[in-house]
Structure 1
Amino acid sequence: MTHTTPRSPHGGRHRARCLLAAAPVAALLVGGLLPAASATAAPPAAPAPDRVAAAAQGAQVPYTEYELEDGDYQGTLLTADAKRTFGHTNFATESSGRSSVRLEKSGDYAGFTSTVPTNSLVLRNSIPDAPGGGGQEATLSLYADGQFVRKLDLSSRHSWLYGNTDDPEGLTNTPGGDARRLFDESHTLLDKSYPAGTKFQLKKDDGDDAAYYVVDLVDLEQVAPPAEKPAACTSITEYGAVPDDGKDDTEALQAAVTADQNGDIDCVWIPAGQWRQEQKILTKDPEHRGEYNQVGIRDVRIVGAGMWHSQLYTLTQPQDAGGINHPHEGNFGFDIDDNTQISDLAIFGSGRIRGGDGNAEGGVGLNGRFGKNTKISNVWIEHANVGVWVGRDYSNIPELWNPADGLAFTGMRIRDTYADGINFTNGTSNSSVTDSSFRTTGDDSLAVWASRYVKDPATDIGHDNTFADNTVQLPWRANGLAIYGGYGNSIENNLVSDTMNYPGIMLATDHDPLPFSGETLISGNSLHRTGGAFWGEAQEFGAITVFPASQDIPGVVIKDTDIHDSTYDGIQFKSGGGAVPGAKISDVTIEKSNNGSGILAMGGARGDASLTDVTISGSRDGDVLVEPGSQFTITGGPQATR
């Protein structure tokens, strides 16, 4: 979501489904940089209890993840402070598990032993920015069983945002002062497959000339060979596209999509290869409605050979692309209006910032009205402002009003954005995101926003949307998952970890949504190290926060949920202009709220909640706290204190 202005504090305190790792996350260590021994012991054989619990939730991902601080290393262990302070060039706070390893001297390394065969590697890392900004490239050496494999190519071009403001468009790419969004990812297909039991090592070696490398985690995946072209499909090469030549293939890609839309072909095939795209694929508007063309494609099927193999990329930042695209929506990916299926490809943008800073933009991977019968599966989106923005305001082109209904996303892999991962807005209903993974999004990884910018606010209310069985890691701004208004929406069986400053899950009425009604379900989720402080560190957010900013949030059901190691409160009812009547909390475990309570009702909160089979332990400020001045009542479960 676009959180555009700071909120004043509202009362109270101010200020394997998914194999997360082959070894347990290190316990929270308080302090700054802790020196490591020249080589730590091998990781324990059994995962920590919270990892075992977490394995029941999240996406069915094809990769296995390894926390590098849990392996053996020669370097410096970085660990977060007790409040996991964000925004002040805090590498450990922005690390998975709130720990990572810094390699600085020649010969420094981080190693781990694989538990699965692999022919690919993704490394989440940070290297310094260029002195004048704009990023730099460097290499890091990969070894397997002591033998050199290859140099990994790393870049800081898409990381390093500067400034002391939490305004999403107030940051800059120009170096100076505090920084955030410190990490990016490097991915590579290896020349051969390595068996389980391989001892991998990431080493600062000769020619690896970055001043330092902060290495956080590695994903290993056995990538299948490129898929064969379906018989019904026609290749973009028949329209003149040439893979891997560095030349713009937009004209050929657009021609193939238009041919499919016109019924001349049955399906668009994007073969294995790198395909440069410098304009978004859409439908030309002969009526020239608006300054920019915002008419999407429809009745199209686009298929790739696999997200590791068929990759669209752009080299031009959106604000510099020109042409018929709206700069905010970018010059890459697809604008979709109705009945479109896209699968098995990657879309790599060129964004470097969310907005502001000379009107620079990040672009959107997939956007548009989306309509009916649209299905998106196994698409990898990286370096966009927003991965997917679903919906257009009714006033955009009223005669094309066609809100998403029955839209389904599966197997999505969204990484390193400057704003949302996937946002359902403008009346999106009966839609879902399942079995997808999100890492390092710059706003809500997943959101339903029942906005007012619809044809009929009485009926076009976002409803019955589902976010289920997803893995959300390391949002560097805002929530893991959020719902703003509507009814019948649900957040189920997701695994959320390491939010920098906002809740793992939030229900809220800021952004002036259409009202909540009926039931909103939060069920079967597992949250680890979520919540944080934001807006000048003046507001503290719980792992799950209910924020009736402008109107009531009725019908809240939170059940079958595990909350572990929260930065502040486990569940927080926040003060606002509305109330939270009749919340029901059952079969919930809250363990270790580091700087807060198990459950908190803030001083200005209004409403009530009933607790059934709620277990709370290890909270600094007690199990249940209702602050003085609160008009919120909590019944059942542990006794509330005031």
Structure 2
Amino acid sequence: MHSNSLRYVRRMSAIGAAVALAAGLLVALAPAAHAAAGADLPFTSVEAESATTTGTKIGPDHTQGTIASEASGRQAVRLGAGQRVEFTVPRAANAVNVSYNVPDGQSGALNVYVNGTKLAKTLAVTSKYSYVDTSWIAGAKTHHFFDNARLLLGQNVQPGDKIAVEAVSTQVTVDVADFEQVAAAATKPAGAVSVTDKGADPSGQGDSTQAFRNAIAAAQGGVVWIPPGDYRLTSSLNGVQNVTLQGAGSWHSVVHTSRFIDQSSSSGGVHLKDFAVIGEVTERVDSNPDNFVNGSLGPGSSVSGMWLQHLKVGLWLTGNNDNLVVENNRILDTTADGLNLNGNARGVRVRNNFLRNNGDDALAMWSLYSPDTNSSFESNTISQPNLANGIAIYGGTDLAVKNNLISDTNALGSGIAISNQKFLDPFSPLAGTITVSGNTLVRAGAMNPNWQHPMGALRVDSYDSAIEANVSITGTTITDSPYSAFEFVSGGGHGYATKNVTVDGATVRNTGTVVVQAESQGAAKFSNVQATGVGAAGIYNCPYPAGSGTFTLTDGGGNAGWSSTWGDCSAWPQPGQGNPDPDPTRNLAKGRPATATGSQDVYTPGKAVDGDASTYWESTNNAFPQAWTVDLGSSQAVRRLVLKLPPATAWQARTQTLSVQGSTDGSAYSTVVASQGYRFDPATGNTATVTLPSGTNLRYLKLNVTANTGWPAAQFSEVEAYLS
């Protein structure tokens, strides 16, 4: 389901890891670095841009419609004829899967080399399944640039071995390679009915549709066996119930069809496991059931160990699918959703799956006709959804999104969206408790071309009605979001409230604009949210439409690194822009958090930024050197400091010797003004001015004091910081 065909355009101006990219190595997108987030996968991925290459690296780029913007890590390697990428094998493997792009309308091949020896087999590459256009979706451009191609190497390789891929004649952009040790083909279970015994052709030449139907009919209550081979089905299966369809493994048993099961109901007990279904879907036609499963498998069913590719949707589930389990699958290169629970989902568990290059929401619950209830998306790894969200919850009751790893969302989506966008009626809005826990989002969020402003990595959206459910967001890690980390919005432009939200325990690193992007009326409580590397300011709080109400952020304690507020609601912050100050004469330090190496009695560090020159900070006595630090909230081009002591006549003249240091992250400091003496004289107001050199940008301002001629301690009643 397309998640963000927004119906309004904002008045605002347009904005023109966590996943281990060190050495470009991702262990199943780095579960070792994020033990609680993502799937436990049977392969290890290596980014092309980190490998040795004779080609050209492209990216990073977040611009909609570019090849690099859809790549894992927003980077890839472009190869001309004869150019190659050589990967260092990270694990024992006998198979490789390569994510790649070729120019529109072209096909070709990649030569494959193992330790310098060229294999007889090549890896076919094509644009056939790429370059998808969806003109009916507002804001969509041509997208879905990448595809995946896999190859059994015919030999075992070990960690440290070299595998290279080389463009033969067609230009190929290589994104990432997955290295896997594929198990030998499984053997037929005792008592199973083989589709070949019913006439199926494992060469892929004949039509095996009727043979599959006959085997299903004969195996009721038992197992249909799909031996190693390629099988071609020309129409979908229906009436599937009380049966297991089992293959020899998803690299061995392959069914070629764009419509595998299409049925509106089933008595259940359907188990699909350990084979591949690879379709021929080259464009998205929403009225066509071009899906692995379209409709219902019935209660108590399961889908596991599947490789699903080149379909419109992996699983589009309607009707009764109570207690369905979908686990340990790969869903690649779909032109729309990876999986969508389309109403009536009760007790469904979708867990430990890998999804890459999906053309809409990778995983979605959509409560059309009746609410999805007591269902969850848990421990899935999602990479490169190229139109909408990584995970989307549209309505429903008591749902959970837990321990997922989502990276590189594009165009119209967030990493996770919790939304009351209904699309159609009758719709069941969010209710009960929506649990969002333990998720890791990397480079998630995107510029929305309909809004002409960005979407956050994690979005709560009162699109068509107020959020009445309790939305609990805990244990979140958000890294390298190109724009904001958390967004609260009423995306339909109606100004509905986004409320009953709690955010507890989050780590935000290197967010491009703000930590919190609040655009609706409502409220959220934030606790234990730690941010570093904030691009512009901590908070953007400008509800839309104007006058629709305010968004209240309650500080639950334990927050750090994002207390500043974007100062201009007439313009969106751009990544790394810094917060424009509507009053350039404002004292940037006033009221900001201050700390010190020590203080004497009641003369605490905050007294130097409280706006009252009669109160003051005094360091621990007889203990030079001493340091006093203030967090300005965001990086600022500070040009002048005014240091004050109380103006009382009892304060005799004195000279304090100090240096000025600055930092953008609170850990690495550099000297801005070298140590020198500054005279404080009651006859001239007991003030001293420090001029900072042009080009100074700092968020954390530190004064290191080494001497005071009037008292054996550092003393300031006010430290004022100005832009000019």
Same fold (TM over 0.5): yes
- 1:52 Cα deviation (Å)? 6.3
Matched, 1:508 2:419: yes
Q: How far 1:193 sits from its partner (Å)?
A: 1.3
2:271 aligned counterpart, secondary structure? strand
Partner of 1:268: 224
The answer to whether the 8 A contact 1:589-1:614 is kept is yes
5+ long unaligned stretches in structure 2:
568-724
> Counterparts in 2 of 1:19-30, with a 5 A limit?
24-25=20-21
Task: Tell me, yes or no, if the aligned pair for 2:323 and 2:347 is still in contact at 8 Å.
Answer: yes
Secondary structure of 1:253's match? helix
Equivalent residue of 2:213, what SS? helix
Please say if 1:181 is aligned against 2:111: no
**Is residue 2:115 matched to residue 1:145?**
yes
Instruction: Choose which of 307, 311, 315 in structure 1 pairs with 2:250.
Output: 307
Alignment pair present for 1:563 and 2:478: yes
User: How far off its partner does 1:179 sit?
Assistant: 3.7
* Distance verdict in 2 for CA 1:305–1:623, change over 3 Å: same
| Higher mean displacement: 119-128 or 149-158 | 149-158
| Maintained 8 Å contact 1:420/1:442 | yes
Question: For residues 74 and 166 of structure 1, what CA distance do their matches in structure 2 show?
Answer: 41
Tell me: CA distance 1:612–1:331, structure 2 relative to 1, closer, same or farther (3 Å).
closer
The 2-side partners of 1:481 and 1:549 are apart by: 16
Q: Distance in 1 between matches of 2:143 and 2:24?
A: 32
Distance change (3 Å), C-alpha of 1:104 and 1:412: same
* Offset, 1:232: 2.6
Q: Are 1:118 and 2:96 counterparts?
A: no
Q: Distance in 2 between matches of 1:608 and 1:468?
A: 27
Does the CA-based 8 Å contact 1:166-1:535 persist in structure 2? no
Residues of 1 paired with 2:433 and 2:46: CA distance?
38
Q: Does residue 443 of structure 2 align to residue 529 of structure 1? A: yes
Aligned partner of 2:104 among 129, 148, 160? 129
1:467 aligns with 2:377: yes
1:552 is matched by which residue type in structure 2?
Answer: A
Over aligned residue pairs, what C-alpha RMSD do you find? 2.5
Query: Match for 2:327 among 395, 410, 414?
Result: 410
Q: Does 1:246 align with 2:226?
A: no
Larger Rg belongs to: 2
Residue deviations 1:242-289, cap 9 Å, x none? 21141111110111112234x6xx221111111111111113xxxxxx
Change (3 A) 1:271 1:585: same
Task: Check if 1:477 corresponds to 2:395.
Answer: no
Q: Aligned equivalents of 1:220 and 1:6: distance in 2?
A: 40
- Give the distance between the partners of 2:51 and 2:109, measured in 1 at CA: 21
CA distance in 1, matches of 2:470, 2:510: 27
Q: Is the 8 A contact 2:18 2:440 kept in 1?
A: no
Which structure has the higher relative contact order (CA within 8 Å, separation 6+)? 1
Letter in 2 for 1:267: V
Question: Aligned pair in 2 of structure 1 residues 381, 44: CA closer, same or farther (>3 Å)?
Answer: closer
Distance 2:542 2:12 in 1: 7
Question: What residue in structure 2 maps to residue 538 of structure 1?
Answer: 452
Going from structure 1 to structure 2, the CA distance change for 1:143 and 1:222 (only over 3 Å counts) comes to: same
Q: Secondary structure at the match of 1:85?
A: coil
**Does the residue aligned with 1:598 lie in a helix, a strand or coil?**
strand
**For residue 623 of structure 1, what is the aligned residue in structure 2?**
538
Measured after TM superposition, the shift of residue 384 of structure 1 is 0.7
Query: Structure 1 counterpart of 2:563, which letter?
Result: Q
Asked whether 1:445 is paired with 2:362, we answer: yes
List per-residue Cα deviations over 1:85-111 (Å, max 9, x = no partner).
Answer: 112xx11111100100001142x1111
**Could you tell me which amino acid in structure 1 is paired with residue 115 of structure 2?**
D
Letter in 2 for 1:599: V
Matches within 5 A, 1:193-592: 193-204=156-167, 208-210=168-170, 212-261=171-220, 266-283=222-239, 297-314=240-257, 331-333=259-261, 335=263, 337=266, 338-355=268-285, 361=288, 363-392=290-319, 403-451=320-368, 453=369, 460-501=370-411, 502-512=413-423, 513-536=427-450, 538-553=452-467, 554-576=469-491, 577=494, 578-592=496-510
Q: CA deviation at 1:561?
A: 0.7
Q: CA deviation at 1:583?
A: 0.8
CA offsets per residue over residues 435-480 of structure 1, 9 Å max, x none?
A: 10100001111111111x2xxxxxx421111100100000011000
Q: Which residue of 1 is the match for residue 671 of structure 2? A: none
CA distance in 1, matches of 2:377, 2:26: 30
Aligned to 1:75: 55
Q: 1:151, 1:70 → 2: CA distance?
A: 23
Tell me the equivalent position of 2:522.
607
Q: Check whether the contact 2:193–2:218 (CA below 8 A) recurs between aligned residues.
A: no
CA shift, 1:209, in A, is 1.6
Q: Is the 8 A contact 1:362 1:383 kept in 2?
A: no
Q: Unaligned regions of 5+ residues in structure 1, if any? A: 27-42, 131-135, 172-177, 284-296, 315-329, 393-402, 454-459
1:6 and 1:406, CA in 2 relative to 1: closer, same or farther beyond 3 A? same
CA deviation after TM superposition for structure 1 residue 115, in Å: 1.8
1:65 to 2:24 alignment: no
TM-aligned CA deviation for residue 203 of structure 1? 1.6
Q: Measured at CA, do residues 427 and 245 of structure 1 come closer, stay the same or move farther in structure 2, by a change above 3 Å? A: closer
Structure 1 residue 376, shift from structure 2 partner: 1.0
Residue 209 to residue 549, structure 1, CA distance change in 2 (3 Å):
same
| Aligned partners of 2:395 and 2:422 also within 8 Å | no
Q: Are the equivalent residues in 2 in contact too, given 1:126–1:182 (CA < 8 A)?
A: yes
| CA displacement, residues 2-51 of structure 1 (integer Å, 9 cap, x when unaligned) | 34844214676656xx997xxx537xxxxxxxxxxxxxxxx48999x998
Pick from 155, 171, 189: which aligns with 2:126? 155
Does the CA contact (< 8 Å) of 1:340 and 1:374 recur in 2?
yes
TM-score for the superposition, normalised by structure 1: 0.80
- Tell me, in whole angstroms, the C-alpha distance in 1 between the residues paired with 2:330 and 2:31: 21
Give the number of aligned pairs.
544
Q: What is the letter of the counterpart of residue 2 of structure 1?
A: H
Distance 1:245 1:565, change over 3 A: closer
Shift of 1:535: 3.6
Give CA-to-partner distance per residue, 1:548-569, whole Å, 9 cap, x none: 0111223111110100111211
**Mapped pair 1:104 → 2:85:** no
Q: Give the equivalent residue in structure 1 for 2:647.
A: none
- Is the Cα–Cα contact under 8 Å of residues 166 and 534 in structure 1 kept in the other structure? no
Secondary structure, aligned partner of 2:216: helix
- Secondary structure of the equivalent of 2:196? helix
Is 1:634 aligned to residue 553 of structure 2? yes
Distance change in 2, residues 1:540/1:166 (3 Å)? farther
Q: Distance in 2 between matches of 1:46 and 1:406?
A: 32
Change in 2 beyond 3 A, CA 1:46/1:214: closer
TM-score (norm 2): 0.71
User: Residue 193 of structure 2 contacts residue 219 of structure 2 at CA under 8 Å; is this kept in 1?
Assistant: no
Deviates more, 1:179-188 or 1:497-506: 179-188
Cα distance, 1:620 vs structure 2: 2.0
Query: Counterpart of 1:610 in structure 2: which amino acid?
Result: K
**Partner AA of 2:511 in structure 1:** S
